[in-house]
Amino acid sequence: MVRFAATRRAGFTLMELAIVLAILGVLLRVATPGFQRTILRSRETVLKQDLAGLREAIDGFFADHRRYPDTLEVLVEKRYVRKLPVDPFTRRADTWVTVAPEEGEGGVWDVRSGSDLVGLDGTAYNEW
């Protein structure tokens, strides 16, 4: 009686590949929300830093000139900032919203984001 040696082909079966893809899909679905939250948190940090830098430049301008700048572009022209930062949520540098002083004087007393989105803490970015 002649016996044939069982030969096994190298590689993966279709079932094994399907199982691996299913596991990868589940892992991706679990990891994606956490990853998106991390990206949002980092954008919020950039916004806070940009707002602090612009507000510091406005205060520096006021200390030097005893008046507020007429526009944010004046801060660039007078070299209080190198350039206006890009708002991390609108992804543009020309969407910053300026706030005039309460005394009725013209100028830029404060600056806010031009985004209408709401942050992780529940407050709108344009109220920061």
For residue 127, what pLDDT is reported? Answer: 95
Residues 80/72, Cβ–Cβ less than 8 Å: no
Weakly modelled stretches of the chain, pLDDT under 70: 1-9
Domain boundaries, the chain: 15-127
Q: Looking at residue 12, what is its pLDDT? A: 79
CA dist 87 and 77 (Å) reads 19
Distance, CA of 48 to CA of 54 (rounded, Å): 10
Quote the CA–CA distance of 93 and 84 in Å, as a whole number: 6
